[in-house]
């Protein structure tokens, strides 16, 4: 079996994809999610999702 470009590109793309997924995970982990809206935005502290 000969070495082809796909033998190098596929694992490289997998590594890039995993790194990108981890980067997104760290970004999203910094976002604070709340079920209640802060005062002053028109919903007066009621749940945002109904």
Question: Structural domain tally of the chain?
Answer: 1
Is 80 exceeded by the pLDDT of residue 9? yes
pTM higher than 0.75 for the full model?
no
Q: Which helix (H) or strand (E) holds 38?
A: none
Residues 37 and 45 sit within 8 Å (Cβ to Cβ): yes
Q: Give the residue numbers spanning the domain of 39.
A: 1-50
- Judged against a pLDDT cut of 90, whether residue 47 lies above it is answered with no
């Amino acid at each position: 079996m000969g070495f082809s470009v796909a033998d190098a590109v596929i694992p490289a793309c997998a590594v890039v994809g995993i790194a990108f997924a981890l980067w997104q995970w760290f970004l999203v982990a910094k976002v604070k999610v709340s079920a209640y809206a802060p005062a002053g935005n028109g919903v007066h502290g009621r749940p945002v999702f109904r």
